[in-house]
């Protein structure tokens, strides 16, 4: 692979100063550098990639063994080598066939849990499962990381389809989060979902106890209005949750890949079992596309290769995700975890330090809000930020179609502006038309220059539905997998979150005054003294 990396670097050196806009001198540019899958369109023609660069990237994917490792993942091989586990979140949306892991077919258990979720959601939505004050009107999902970001993002995204109880999400151990959430809710008609695989996650369990205490001040049997999404029967029983209210999942489902199963229960309660089935079907559709489409027409592979081109080859260290869809407001945060926790590594699978940089910094906000915030830096800042726009052909508000067209216009205009820019000559002409002359004309014109030649891609879909959201999330999951394979890292562990957790546990008794801080560094001692001084 080293020679392919070298060829890519050499190719980039030869083309980095050319105009992206100039590439459209080829009348077939847009068609040649875009891919369709069903109703979806992925346009990557506004990048500096050409046929040679794309060919080298496809060679890189082949040399890295993407196809073989993809099949190893889907077949249940233990590709999470540092933890000795399979990676089978895709099994949660597999409603057909069989899949043997460790000598047994794991799909009957997956489907049995799914059937229990469907029955529970159907009964609760119908009012057959009640709170101690009547029909459940509100659901509070308590989790953190993948147990929060996924279902929270999806709940907001699919709000036009939400006809069940109102859902609320608590993640931060900051007491303000749960206090603000519970304020105004009726404990007698609220269901609390505690999402923690081990039932030991300190933030989640602290918030769970707070919610139980809150409910217990009004409700005689608070634990009867709790559900656990956990594999620990012993700990959930100790908390008082009945076994039939516990939904478990296997250790081959990672947290940030888990909302397809029990972690998605809040979403199923909100949009119903049929809507949730459509969500799974969209993901399964993208799974099939990822497994069968040729690499040059494969959306996850192409999305990953363009990410590799911009980050590892061009040296752009960050990527902005910009959905022009208000209901995808939490998608950038969700993708932050998905990519940065997965591919934010510094060693390869064999433990050797990486010779190339790993994943980029991923961030973003929905359009058009971002245009009035950070787009200034994207357009005129000194660093290039590749942008990934996302837009829907149709909204859910037919009486506001004119606003949706304005939204689409802004999305396409931003992508065009990043590529086209504005030259000094054009800026001078604008200032001259305003009556400026001489040095002042030149000074003002320079402030209005846009360098342009800044890359972007556009993912366009028909409408944000459960099926389409399933496609989007699975697309990015597989994109992260492909990038990880090419970089030679394990995308499915997250040891980087552990050290801070361990130190926090050690600091708590110090902050409580039960242990001295003398073994801590000077800065930590000073901060402990300040933050515990109540005089």
Question: What is the set of active-site residues?
Answer: 341, 372, 501
Tokens 């509070």: give the residue.
140
Which residues 6+ apart lie within 8 Å of 513 measured at CB? 532
Q: Could you tell me the CA-to-CA distances from 382 to 215, 377, 422, 450 in Å, in that order?
A: 53, 8, 15, 11
Q: How far apart are CA 184 and CA 166, in angstroms?
A: 13
Q: How far apart are CA 492 and CA 84, in angstroms?
A: 11
Q: How far apart are CA 280 and CA 261, in angstroms?
A: 9
Task: Report the interhelical angle of 265-292 vs 66-75 (nearest 10°).
Answer: 140
DSSP string of 256-312, one letter each residue: GG-TTTGGGHHHHHHHHHHHHHHHHHHHHHHHHHHHHS-GGG-HHHHHHHHHHIIII
β-partners of residue 450 are 422
Q: How far apart are CA 148 and CA 287, in angstroms?
A: 23
Q: How far apart are CA 356 and CA 369, in angstroms?
A: 34
Neighbours of 229 (CB within 10 A): 29
Closest by CA position to 460, among listed 386, 388, 392, 366? 392
In the three-class reduction of DSSP (H, G, I as helix; E, B as strand; rest coil), residue 50 is classed as: coil
Tokens 């080298």: give the residue.
56
Burial of 286: CB neighbours in 10 Å, binned 0-12, 13-18, 19+: buried
Burial of 531: CB neighbours in 10 Å, binned 0-12, 13-18, 19+: exposed
Q: Which tokens in the block code for residue 19?
A: 């105009």
Q: Phi and psi (nearest 5°) for 56?
A: -65, -40
Q: How far apart are CA 258 and CA 147, in angstroms?
A: 7
């Amino acid at each position: 692979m080293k020679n392919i990396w070298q060829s890519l670097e050499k190719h980039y050196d030869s083309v980095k100063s050319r105009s992206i806009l100039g590439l459209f001198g080829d009348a077939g540019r847009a068609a040649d550098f875009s891919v369709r899958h069903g109703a979806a369109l992925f346009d990557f023609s506004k990048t500096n990639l050409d046929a040679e660069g794309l060919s080298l990237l496809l060679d890189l994917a082949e040399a890295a063994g993407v196809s073989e490792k993809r099949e190893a993942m889907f077949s249940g091989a233990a590709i999470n080598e540092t933890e000795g586990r399979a990676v089978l979140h895709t099994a949660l949306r597999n409603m057909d066939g069989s899949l043997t892991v460790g000598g047994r077919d794991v799909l009957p258990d997956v489907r049995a849990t799914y059937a229990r979720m469907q029955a529970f959601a159907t009964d609760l939505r119908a009012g057959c499962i009640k709170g101690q004050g009547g029909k459940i009107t509100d659901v509070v999902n308590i989790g953190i990381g993948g147990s929060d970001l996924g279902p929270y993002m999806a709940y907001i995204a699919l709000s036009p389809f939400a006809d069940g109880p109102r859902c609320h999400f608590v993640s931060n151990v900051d007491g303000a989060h749960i206090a603000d959430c519970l304020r105004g809710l009726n404990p007698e008609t609220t269901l609390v979902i505690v999402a923690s695989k081990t039932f030991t996650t300190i933030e989640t369990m602290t918030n769970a106890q707070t919610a139980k205490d809150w409910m217990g001040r009004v409700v005689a049997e608070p634990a009867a209005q709790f559900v656990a999404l956990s594999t620990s029967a012993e700990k959930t029983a100790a908390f008082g949750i009945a076994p039939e209210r516990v939904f478990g999942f296997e250790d081959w489902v990672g947290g940030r890949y888990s909302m397809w199963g029990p972690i998605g229960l809040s979403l199923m309660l909100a949009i119903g079992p049929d809507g949730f089935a459509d969500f799974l079907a969209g993901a399964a559709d993208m799974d099939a596309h990822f497994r069968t489409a040729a690499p040059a027409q494969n959306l996850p592979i192409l999305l990953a290769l363009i990410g590799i081109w911009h980050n590892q080859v061009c040296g752009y260290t960050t990527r902005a995700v910009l959905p022009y869809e208000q209901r995808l407001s939490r998608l950038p945060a969700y993708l932050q975890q998905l990519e940065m926790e997965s591919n934010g590594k510094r060693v390869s699978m064999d433990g050797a330090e990486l010779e190339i940089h790993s994943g980029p910094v991923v961030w973003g906000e929905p359009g058009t809000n971002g245009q009035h915030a950070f787009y200034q830096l994207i357009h005129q800042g000194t660093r290039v930020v590749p942008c990934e726009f996302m837009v829907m052909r149709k909204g859910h508000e037919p009486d506001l179609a004119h606003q949706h067209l304005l939204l689409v216009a802004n999305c396409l205009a931003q992508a065009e502006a990043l590529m086209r820019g504005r030259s000094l000559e054009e800026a001078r002409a604008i200032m001259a038309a305003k009556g400026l002359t001489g040095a002042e004309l030149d000074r003002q014109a320079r402030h209005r220059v846009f360098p342009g030649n800044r890359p972007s891609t556009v993912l366009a879909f028909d409408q944000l539905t459960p099926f389409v959201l399933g496609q989007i999330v699975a697309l990015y999951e597989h994109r992260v997998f492909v990038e990880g394979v090419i970089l030679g890292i394990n995308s499915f562990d997250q040891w980087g979150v552990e050290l801070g957790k361990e130190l926090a546990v050690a600091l708590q008794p110090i902050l409580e005054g039960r242990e001295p801080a003398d073994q801590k560094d000077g800065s930590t001692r000073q901060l402990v003294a300040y933050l515990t001084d109540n005089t």
